[in-house]
Structure 1
């Protein structure tokens, strides 16, 4: 082969190989893009982030000469107890050197802010603690004690100054309750600063976000926002640092602050609903299989009982025929003997022979007709099956009784979503009339027994329900805002809850009346806790 020809073929082969490599790379890229599109994206529930935002405050440092006030600086903080606020040390550092400065916290809801006092200061990890003065209280936020997953979705909540500037807010506006700004991003790379332990993330921050919480998808604190990257290159991406829970937990421990935390996996209500639907479908399939198995077992039992009844009926028929034949022979014998005796007495039958023969003949006829018929085989088989069932009817009735009496209810984590509540066993006492613990009457509606609780002391509405058949106690909690809570309290005030034991009609009317409060609730609860209840001895 000429050299030129070999070279040409080599080039053609190389070109084909290159095209194949490019094609494979394109296919791999398309597959990766498809996987990204097809994969479910973990998104936070907006209701959880909004609920957590109730605990976020604007921290303001004000200078006042008695007649006029001037805003020195401001940042963000969040309530870890009803009257303790976590923020950054650099937000409140000017308080340390000037006794004339006043600190205040401005909540997201309400009418006004509260004065505050600096009670703990840790510049080494940029943390500080303020105590609300004057009796003001806030809803505490929940902390996540575990290690967040790299790449997971996070939310930053706070009061960025650039937003205030864009809105043209005055000082009066800054000390008036306003909803916090929320931004979304992701944890990035697991890197930490060298000064103290931090989390790197991409949720955008402004200068006023300092001291605000970094939240996970369930609205739990995983860090305290502190600072961001600085670059002279406008094309560089922005990254931000939050003080880790390791630093915050140690800081709060030194300050002897007892906070609420929850380390359960973060699951959405939609995930629970899908799992519950699958569980219900599986339960229905299991019950259908059990019904089919019971039907087959019953049919087999009936066939066995029918064979036994058939043998008994045939045996009784044979015995009846034999007995009738014997009685007939006896009647003929007595009659024949009577004729013999009559011939000896000149044709006169004795009365005993006549009556004896007649009685035996009548008995033979009766026995013949009283034999069990073949049609009675099925009915006798059913009677034989019903006798052992009647003996166990009391135990069956005991199993079918609704779940009444004293019980202890244990949380089922697989069917629950818990973000802010404590996990404890719940003792209950239930009556068939819908009375819970001897004092709270539940309402009866199409969805079963329930009671809606609208407390005055917290911004949470609970829908408690109980299913006696499955012995399942369910608590759904809605962490609503101040306006929704005010409406719910007004609706609750218009309801007249019946006393325990008022009767089914009163329970149904109360269940219908509770719908006015349910109509004010969001479509999904923030928490759903399902408990499995077992009778107590």
Structure 2
């Protein structure tokens, strides 16, 4: 099995199925890529999970805090307050200024997402050049392991291939062996998605065809792939924050992505500091 490390711009449901292993044939490291300059000091996306509660990435909160700048919704006055955060998962729960409640998105009740499942990334990845909400259809590529450092804006992912060159899912032991025991505490299962994102796409939801959330973008590149916090981690994060989200039945069918984007638009916010 061949190991390689891919870098991604920090920006971007644990999958079911057996984890494949094999003989180690070699390793080709590729250095993590630093994040491109964001809008203002830092920018990202967020989505409402309840009236008065918005999910985004913790790395956006961390950068604003490091710069001693208030986190605000672009085009509106008033600083947002951090209700709960988990830097290890790169998730934060925010409360808007008074009177800023948004309609909430439901989370999918699906137990897992199969590779090949159709999804859409939703957010504001245009940086300074595009302030519009963007929906980018893609598919679940599979589960992978990453070591992510939200405080630096860098993430490295592990790809494994068998002797024929076919990409296979790494095991936890593969991740520890490649990244080292000193990085084991930062090792996380994440969802890899074929679609790309860009600066400002951080914190946006990954949507299924019913308009339910199945993950949270935390890293990616314009041409793909994009990496997302798994649905199970998002649910656990919200429960630890003292909030039980609303769930939608698992989706089956052919998605109408423009309809999904239009329905979710009112629950989205563009954040910056």
Give me the TM-score of the superposition, normalised by structure 2: 0.59
Report how far residue 114 of structure 1 moved. Answer: 5.0
Report how far residue 240 of structure 1 moved. Answer: 1.5
Q: Say which SS state the counterpart of residue 116 (structure 2) adopts.
A: coil
Task: Report the aligned-residue RMSD.
Answer: 3.0
The 3 A distance-change label for structure 1 pair 247 and 266 is same
Corresponding position of 1:189: 142
Q: Distance in 2 between matches of 1:135 and 1:85?
A: 14
Corresponding position of 1:213: 205
Corresponding position of 2:230: 244
Report how far residue 268 of structure 1 moved. Answer: 5.7
Q: Say which SS state the counterpart of residue 71 (structure 1) adopts.
A: coil
Q: Does 1:125 align with 2:81?
A: no
| Map 1:103-182 → 2, pairs under 5 A | 103-106=71-74, 112=76, 114-146=78-110, 147-160=112-125, 163-166=126-129, 179-182=132-135
1:104 touches 1:115 (CA, 8 Å); kept in 2? yes
Corresponding position of 2:7: none
Q: Say which SS state the counterpart of residue 251 (structure 1) adopts.
A: helix
The 3 A distance-change label for structure 1 pair 189 and 480 is closer
Q: Distance in 2 between matches of 1:154 and 1:103?
A: 29
More strand by share: 2
Corresponding position of 1:203: 195
Q: Distance in 2 between matches of 1:204 and 1:479?
A: 22
2:235 touches 2:245 (CA, 8 Å); kept in 1? no
When the two structures are aligned, how many residues end up with a matched partner? 184
2:124 touches 2:200 (CA, 8 Å); kept in 1? yes
Q: Distance in 2 between matches of 1:131 and 1:158?
A: 18
Q: Say which SS state the counterpart of residue 190 (structure 1) adopts.
A: strand
Q: Say which SS state the counterpart of residue 223 (structure 1) adopts.
A: strand
Corresponding position of 2:23: none
Q: Distance in 2 between matches of 1:269 and 1:211?
A: 22
Q: Distance in 1 between matches of 2:129 and 2:63?
A: 26
Q: Distance in 1 between matches of 2:42 and 2:248?
A: 33
Report how far residue 266 of structure 1 moved. Answer: 3.1
Q: Distance in 2 between matches of 1:94 and 1:164?
A: 16
- Identify which of structures 1 and 2 has the higher relative contact order when contacts are C-alpha pairs closer than 8 Å and 6+ apart: 2
Q: Distance in 1 between matches of 2:88 and 2:132?
A: 30
Q: Which has the larger radius of gyration?
A: 1
More helix by share: 1
Corresponding position of 2:5: none
| Map 1:298-313 → 2, pairs under 5 A | none
